[in-house]
Structure 1
Amino acid sequence: MKSDRHSGAPAILDRRPVLVTGGAGFIGSNLADRFANEGHDVLVFDRLARPGVERNLDWLRKRHPDRVSAIIGDVRDEEAVTKAASEAKAVFHMAAQVAVTTSLVDPREDFEVNIRGTLNLLDALRRRSEPVPLIFASTNKVYGDLADIALDKRDDAYVPHDPAIRRTGIGERRPLHFHTPYGCSKGAADQYVLDYARSFGIPTCVFRMSCIYGQRQMGTEDQGWVAHFLIRALNGQPISIYGDGCQVRDVLDISDAVDAYARAWKNIAAVQGRAFNLGGGPDNAISLRQLLAHIQDIIGRPVEASYSDWRAGDQRYYVSDTHLAAQDLGLKPPTPWRKGVAALAQWLQEEPHPAASASQGTQRRRAEAVS
């Protein structure tokens, strides 16, 4: 474990840091930037395993040299996690194994990172003498493949036959139904986080996220499909789609996701022990084919795509019912997806990054297009 946290800083009231595990990643780096901008010290805990994320950490250090520090460590290392959490005033747990495909290749590592790593962090907070909030990044995969929802195909997209689901999306009352090792590990971690609020009084909150996109996303075939599609298209590279491309997700701009996490911390006394679905909602629900068509409009040229078999655990339709999060956290309406995707395309053109490599994802395994 390496630490670059400076020890000579002047004694200032409440310099306890906000701890962001996975803080060099896409959502984590945006969270760290938000909190540093608000005047908080931020401690990033990340093992820098994902290609390109060290650029996010460098970006954070340059923007906030006196606010952001880092520990290069692994959430499976209980001693390192305990040390990182020892002075934190709030914890945002983003560190995870994030791909269904990886979990099928190595389910034991998936278990160790997502379950044991989360338990290490929860237990470090349980041993603290004060209640420290923890807000956890869960996933829509906890609801399984949703195969019981009857679907129709309209305009290159699956839509629920039930008009109530079309109107509102999938709510938090949907029964949990874990599929694939990834679904099991994230689902188990989700439940541990909620139970530590019940059993030990730790103020925790869970976000079951749909697809988040935006600046600083190193999109690959494994994870981050909106950015991945844009990166490939902007570089004139073909896109691999698994399934027929009519599968639908609700997409949410990173600025809106960060705001939800910040508001959960601000309102933790009212929402502790609760799970919220977080996504763009029905107004921001799009299929892979619809995104491809929009990207072609943005870049002004066709995008080559190939189609392969469906992947294990893939949902043909998932759209978040976000009314509880909007109501209880006071969230503003999300960024319209066309505006957000166009902004991401502009950022990618201005700041190309290594995720554009054609072989980066496929060297390890062929991966599903939607995480």
Structure 2
Amino acid sequence: MIGRDDRPILITGGAGFIGSNLANRLAGSGAEVIVFDALSRPGVERNLAWLKERHGSKITSITADIRDEDEVVRAASDAKAVFHLAAQVAVTTSMVDPREDFEINIRGTVNVLDALRNRTDRVPVIFASTNKVYGDLADLPFETDGNRHSPIGDVAMLGVDESRPLDFHTPYGCSKGAADQYVLDYSRSFGIPSAVFRMSCIYGQRQMGTEDQGWVAHFLIRALEGKPITLYGDGKQVRDILDVSDAVDAYVGALRNIDRVNGRAFNLGGGPANAVSLLQLIDEMRLITGRDVDVGFEDWRPGDQRWYVSNTAAARSALGLADARPWRDGVARLAGWLAQERNLQLTPEPLASAAE
């Protein structure tokens, strides 16, 4: 699918963190790429400039909002495949303005799907969903071991698989969950080849982390700048973190194998080997940066999961994915990139020891 013709591949949200890494991979392999992005997130215009500098005419950009149906139709009119990553991405924002969250995540997704439904050929769409479709996992019995929460039983060793019932919490969970289901149903109802990735926490280069989204990069930026970090909850909540290069492998693999994975949803994250609590990550950051980090605590935020780890066996099997990059190595690499990008000093001795 990637190399059969010279028509472009459309990436909505293509100037964002995952989108720019995906665009870089595709353009680097010779594909023509359309980057569709509203450029509303601070810093993403630098990602777009970076893509154009690296790949020149392989990158075409459309600055537009995913809610603009006419612009979406225009962008998708000649695409041979679509990666739909454009979204409102923060639970906190959805609590402040649930209507905008709905408009971007549900209406925007239907705009993409209908643009493809109304074409005469069948164009694949790969969608970025979220682990939040599984709710807060409060039904799992938990125990606390030192600085991390863990569920009791086999799920702690294996992670959450795709048989877990959907349970949308918060407007963000509802909007992304509904979009997830629309993508899968357009495969059933209209024959649009599709795959969905229910992602855990992705981190890596080109991530402009904020307190609301992209927390691994946000924590590192605060540490490098010598600023305190606020944790919401007790800091013992656990996530399986995945380097963006591994996420891009999955997205490219889904397109290459779309006939085989059509209509399927996959959990995508670092898996049990890369499950880390917020407090554990901060301890590692102290080693990487050679700096102490002041930490403060606030109340839990709505819908926050005490623990979420992906069972990635289905994705690894279907897409032939390699083992994920070990999280300590990946976080050290991100710290180095952020320090260079922001002209900040990174202590070299702790970095070398932390990456071993």
TM bin (shorter chain): over 0.9
SS in 1 for 2:56: coil
Q: Cα offset for 1:66?
A: 1.7
Structure 2 partner of 1:352? 342
Q: Deviations over 1:127-149 (max 9, x none)?
A: 11111010000000000010001
The CA distance in 2 between the partners of 1:210 and 1:352, in whole Å, is 26
| Structure 1 contact 52–353 (Cα < 8 Å) conserved | no
What is residue 206 of structure 1 aligned with on the other side?
196
Pick aligned residue for 1:276 from 266, 272, 276:
266
Equivalences for 1:244-323 in 2 at 5 Å? 244-323=234-313
Q: Which amino acid in structure 1 is aligned with residue 104 of structure 2?
A: V
Cα root mean square deviation, aligned: 1.1
Residue 347 (structure 2) aligns with: none
TM-score (norm: length of structure 1): 0.91
Query: C-alpha separation between the residues in 2 aligned to 1:142 and 1:44?
Result: 27
2:226–2:291 contact (8 Å) kept in structure 1: no
Equivalence for 1:86: 77
Residues 1:353 and 1:28: Cα distance change in structure 2 (over 3 Å): farther
Q: What is aligned with 1:359?
A: none
Q: Compute the TM-score of the two structures, normalised by the length of structure 2.
A: 0.95
Counterpart of 2:23 (choices 29, 32, 49) is: 32
Q: Residue in 2 aligned with 1:177?
A: 167
**Gaps in structure 1 of 5+ consecutive residues:** 1-12, 355-371
Q: Which residue of 2 is the match for residue 8 of structure 1? A: none
Is 1:224 paired with 2:214? Answer: yes
Q: Distance in 1 between matches of 2:222 and 2:85?
A: 26
Query: Is 1:241 matched up with 2:231?
Result: yes
Partners of 2:231 and 2:28 in 1: CA distance: 38
The yes-or-no answer on 1:159 pairing with 2:147 is: no
Give deviations 1:27-63, integer Å, cap 9, x for gaps: 0000000000000000000000000100000000000
Structure 1 counterpart of 2:354: none
SS of equivalent residue, structure 1 residue 65: helix
Q: Is the 8 A contact 2:223 2:291 kept in 1?
A: no
Matching residue of 2:176: 186
CA distance in 1, matches of 2:87, 2:262: 22
Task: Assess if the C-alpha contact under 8 Å between 1:172 and 1:275 holds in 2.
Answer: yes
Q: Give the percent of matched residue pairs that are identical in Structure 1 and Structure 2.
A: 66
Correspondence 1:45 to 2:36: yes
Matching residue of 1:330 = 320
* Structure 1 residue 15 displacement after superposition: 2.7
Is 1:141 aligned to 2:119, yes or no? no
Partner SS, residue 82 of structure 2: strand
Q: Give the Cα–Cα distance (whole angstroms) in 2 for the partners of residues 87 and 113 of structure 1.
A: 23
| 1:11-160 correspondence runs (5 A) | 14-160=5-151
* Mapped partners of 2:331, 2:146: distance in 1: 20
User: Counterpart amino acid of 2:208?
Assistant: M
Give the C-alpha shift of residue 21 in structure 1. Answer: 0.2
In 2, Cα distance between the equivalents of 1:165 and 1:145? 15
Deviations 1:268-295 (A, max 9, x none): 0000100000000000000000000000
Alpha-carbon distance in 2 for matches of 1:17, 1:116? 24
* 1:45 alignment partner, SS class: strand
Q: Secondary structure at the match of 2:242?
A: strand
Matched positions, count: 341
Stretches of 4+ moved more than 4 A in 1? none
- Distance between the aligned counterparts of 2:142 and 2:301, measured in 1? 18
